[in-house]
């Protein structure tokens, strides 16, 4: 089911009699449990593509691949859909080597070559910039992310892509919403489809409906060569970690709340909020009972 009602896409994803699998799935488990997981992720991504019209006018996508479980899973699912004839866009995977100490430079190019996907590895030492600009003891993530995004936009343009496609999932969207709610004083999340400030590239998040736990299980079963995001030093106490812990506790106490929260983001009623820019409260007028 999408955020705004029953699923529009066909729920059936046939994994039987597929013939020659893409090399990406040549060593994937053949268990019933893994096939159910794979089908669920395929269905959820297809739903997001449909709900947010991500394929409209699209011909070529740049897939951001960091080496983490989410971006590996994103690439695998998109390649799976493309192999089935359900994703009529060209895909190019891209990793931005940001110069972190001890970054294993061979892992991603070796893996991407092994699965036969077009790719580009770009080196930009943004790590030194972050170390110089961020005060001692502060977190690197925000500036690091902005510098990475700017470079990925540039690469997408150079590669003739219509969109930058990222591996943010359900929990990322909810955590961002609560960070803005608690710390930013605004109701805003992480959109599944966004037009950049320059107006020339879309940012797409096809994993918007996918649960992080499902992606973690999928990545473990696929045995992706994970590169941890702690090469610049693990930084505890981040606001996002606090939001993640809060959501996990809520889900443990009341299972299904994460899905309910995500649906709520797609059912906004401006007249029941306090934003006078979104609803004309001054125009409300009482009249005789009909």
CATH number of the domain enclosing 77 = 3.40.50.620
Q: Is 150 contained in some domain?
A: yes
Q: Are 65 and 75 in contact (CB under 8 A)?
A: yes
Q: pLDDT tens digit string along 66-109?
A: 899 999 999 999 999 999 999 999 999 999 887 777 788 889 99
> Is residue 181 included in any domain, yes or no?
yes
Predicted local confidence at residue 134, as pLDDT: 64
Tokens matching residue 156? 């997408």
152 in a structural domain: yes
Tokens of residue 71, six digits: 């971006």
What is the pTM (predicted TM-score) of this model?
0.86
Is the residue at 207 inside a domain?
yes
75 is a domain residue? yes
Range of the domain at 174: 30-229
pLDDT digit string, tens, across residues 205-243: 999 999 999 999 999 999 999 987 764 544 544 788 889
In a domain, 256, yes or no: no
Q: In what order do the strands lie in the sheet with 60-64?
A: 119-123, 90-97, 60-64, 163-165, 202-204, 193-195
């Amino acid at each position: 089911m999408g955020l705004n009602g029953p699923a529009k896409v066909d729920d059936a994803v046939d994994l039987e009699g597929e013939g020659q699998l893409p090399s990406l799935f040549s060593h994937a488990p053949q268990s019933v449990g893994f096939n159910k997981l794979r089908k669920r992720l395929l269905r959820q991504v297809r739903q997001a593509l449909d709900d947010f019209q991500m394929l409209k006018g699209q011909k070529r996508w740049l897939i951001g691949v960091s080496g983490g479980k989410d971006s590996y899973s994103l690439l695998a699912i998109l390649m799976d859909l493309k192999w089935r004839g359900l994703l009529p866009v060209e895909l190019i995977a891209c990793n931005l080597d940001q110069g972190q100490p001890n970054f294993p430079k061979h892992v991603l190019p070796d893996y991407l070559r092994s699965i036969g996907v077009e790719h580009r590895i770009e080196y930009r030492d943004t790590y030194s910039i972050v170390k110089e600009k961020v005060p001692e003891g502060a977190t690197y993530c925000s500036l690091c992310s902005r510098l990475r995004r700017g470079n990925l936009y540039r690469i997408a343009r150079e590669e003739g892509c219509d969109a930058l496609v990222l591996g943010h999932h359900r929990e990322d969207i909810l955590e961002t919403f609560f960070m803005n709610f608690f710390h930013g004083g605004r109701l805003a999340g992480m959109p599944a489809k966004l037009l950049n400030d320059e107006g020339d590239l879309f940012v797409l998040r096809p994993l918007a409906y996918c649960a992080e736990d499902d992606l973690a299980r999928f990545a473990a079963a696929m045995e992706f060569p994970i590169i941890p995001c702690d090469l610049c030093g693990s930084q505890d106490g981040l606001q996002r970690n606090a939001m993640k812990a809060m959501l996990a506790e809520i889900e443990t106490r009341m299972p299904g709340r994460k899905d309910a929260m995500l649906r709520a983001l797609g059912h906004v009623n401006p007249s029941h909020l306090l934003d006078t820019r979104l609803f004309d409260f001054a125009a409300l007028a009482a009249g005789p009972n009909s």
